[in-house]
Structure 1
């Protein structure tokens, strides 16, 4: 069995008690007892106090050693001699054993304490030189034992309560992490379903154009180049969507539910529905809309939808929301700002915000959320435009 090291705080506490009390006891023995009594009792005094250093790391051993050492002192002490101050180590050890011992430690400590108090009182009563009434001494010692037992039991209950709180906190944290992980998996599955139509559409275009290209090459050769360009663009877009999908998803999903997905053309319908629910929504758009991929349009639509949903849930009565689309040469910047406080700290795992980031990652964009300058909550996103196929550029007049 490997040795048990005492805690540093227990060692310091033991020294704080042992040095004055044990030193006083040893001095009393050397001055008051002749012959071999002092050398015989001194080791028991030292061992009884030293065992207190293991009161938490090895509570059973510490209590047994201290009890035996105190029993030796009480038994060997000449009749009529006052109880030694070093016997204070026993109630201290009893308290620690009740607080930190095993499941049956309080019962065992109480039995040992009552028996020890009775034995000391009986031995004192049998001595012809004692000046203390036996009943008084027995009651006094029993009271010390009961006080130490009660305090130790209270400390044990307190430690058990704190331990249960820590266990619940750790379990709640693990459950939160599990919910967040499950939310990420659910969002990946949703993205897989939403991406299905995007990729399927591009592949359908490739197949149909390739079939038409075979006939066009024979009947109208001048259309072959146009057909090939369409095939190239559709293939490039399908490849882009597939790369985004494979970069985000880590597990397959074979569930059903592959329905058509919304794009920015359906944004006015969304805003009308939200306004009908009582939320005041302002929409502003600057610049000339550029070419977004279907995945990017879906991500932008879902971002606005989720931001409006959060505003309805958290902003309260009288809430206002402003949506701004700013189109530039190579990207669109989206801002959704409300006058509320945003999602609260206890609203679950944040499935919607997880979905925002996942969709933006698929579309090659980014999103940030947080408190807006001047108050309110802000959702800000950037989405790049679709890269034209090789050889295709902007037409100039």
Structure 2
């Protein structure tokens, strides 16, 4: 909270210091014989310089024009040995050039630079015409060269600082866009992995209840509910494609454990969907990404079997442990028949990315007796 007042008082303090130094120089010039009207005109030009510098904070072109007019007055005013660069308040002109260059387009800043160069040329021509006989001509060239270096340095410095600020803003904008895209992809991934799977299991169990019920009206009602569930699932898939049309390779951060697999398998079973779980070998430690990939592979395999196959369907989930890797296999028997393919989702693409990110491999086999989804994931011992 203390930095802001210092930032706001710094320009005012600078103006006061420059004005006091300029007043001392003008007082010395009057003491050495300058006419009163010359001092008054110079003081008025100095006031324009400081006023233009203040105006440039909100209106860069207006402030720059005011400062350029003030410098023109100082240059053209007849004053023996006079040079505008001698006044401390003349610093206001390059300051407005800096502010203008940092705020307007590059083409406009080149125009402002041209105005400054033209002013320096005019200054040196007027100074040359008033050059005393005992002063060497090369002093005007030296003076003009130094002024050119100052103006060009101010312009280039402002341009470089502006480019750096623009690069920083672009980098920040890209970082924010990447964060938003990453968050959208995470939402899409969680919707697909959790809600889509749950809707598929619900539809499968409703279909099983419709087949086993003896009441025709109940059977029709359950069939309508199952159809509505399938429509909702398709709508969800369309929404997910809109949210993130390309597959996301970011590993999910949802804390999922292999201990949840028995309940996941049991929740998918119904009277027409026999989903079983088996595990062989001693469990080995897995990385978080590998454990998530294993659970999501099982989930995706079950979801695809229940969604694409007409019941009755048998699905077998098997985990086989070895010291170096975990093999996850989801196998179905092909069901009674296959349903229409429908729209193609990105579930398997997402699973493949998860498995690959975890350092494993994924294979999909389509045989006469059904689909086999198999993931091989390294354990921490085999990694």
- TM-score band (shorter)? 0.5 to 0.7
Q: 1:253 to 1:149 in 2, by over 3 A?
A: same
2:23 maps to what in 1? 23
Q: Distance in 2 between matches of 1:307 and 1:31?
A: 93
Q: How does 1:290-305 map to 2 (within 5 A)?
A: 305=295
Number of the residue aligned with 2:265: 263
Q: Which residue of 1 aligns with 2:111?
A: 108
Aligned pairs (5 A) from 1:272-287: 280=285
User: What residue ranges of structure 2 are gaps of 5+ in the alignment?
Assistant: 1-6, 240-262, 267-274, 299-322, 327-352, 355-379
Instruction: Check the 8 A contact 1:106/1:153 in 2, yes or no.
Output: no
Match of 1:71 in 2: 72
Between the aligned partners of 2:119 and 2:159, the Cα distance in structure 1 is: 22
Contact 2:83 2:127 in 1 (8 A): no
Q: 2:292, 2:127 → 1: CA distance?
A: 87
1:319–1:179 Cα change, 3 Å: same
Cα 1:13–1:266 shift into 2, 3 Å = farther
Deviations 1:309-362 (A, max 9, x none): xxxxxxxxx9999xxxxxxxxxxxxxxxxxxxxxxxxxxxxx97xxxxxxxxxx
Per the TM alignment, residue 66 of structure 1 is displaced from its structure 2 partner at its CA by 0.8
Residues 253 and 116 (structure 1 numbering): CA distance in 2 closer, same or farther, change over 3 Å?
closer
Deviations 1:264-317 (A, max 9, x none): 686654x75x96xxx546xxxxxxxxxxxxxxxxxxx96972699xxxxxxxxx
Q: Partners in 2 of 1:129 and 1:320 — Cα distance?
A: 94
The separation in 2 between residues aligned to 1:206 and 1:107, in whole angstroms, is 78
Shift of 1:13: 6.0
Quick one: distance in 1 between partners of 2:238 and 2:112? 63
**DSSP-derived class of the 2:120 partner:** helix
Q: Are 2:177 and 1:174 equivalent residues in the alignment?
A: yes
Contact 2:102/2:159 (<8 A) preserved: yes
Assess, with a 3 A threshold, how the Cα gap between structure 1 residues 50 and 30 changes in structure 2: closer, same or farther: farther
1:166 positional shift: 1.8
TM-score w.r.t. structure 2 length? 0.52
1:119 to 118, 122, 128: 122
Q: How far did 1:72 drift?
A: 0.2
Runs of 5+ unmatched residues, structure 1: 1-6, 215-230, 256-260, 282-300, 309-317, 322-350, 353-375, 377-397
1:190, CA displacement in angstroms? 4.2
Is 1:162 aligned to 2:152, yes or no? no
Q: Is the 8 A contact 2:60 2:99 kept in 1?
A: yes
Cα deviations across residues 139-193 of structure 1 (Å, max 9, x unaligned)?
A: 2233222233223313312321222222232223223312321332343244444
Partner of 1:60: 61
Question: What SS does structure 1 have at the residue aligned with 2:202?
Answer: helix
Give the distance between the partners of 2:64 and 2:75, measured in 1 at CA.
16
The secondary structure found in structure 1 opposite 2:237 is: coil
Could you tell me whether the CA contact under 8 Å between 1:98 and 1:149 is conserved in 2?
no
Do the aligned partners of residues 210 and 80 (structure 1) sit closer, same or farther apart at CA in structure 2, a change above 3 Å counting?
closer
Take 1:55 and 1:12, find their aligned partners in 2: how far apart are those partners? 14
SS in 1 for 2:295: helix
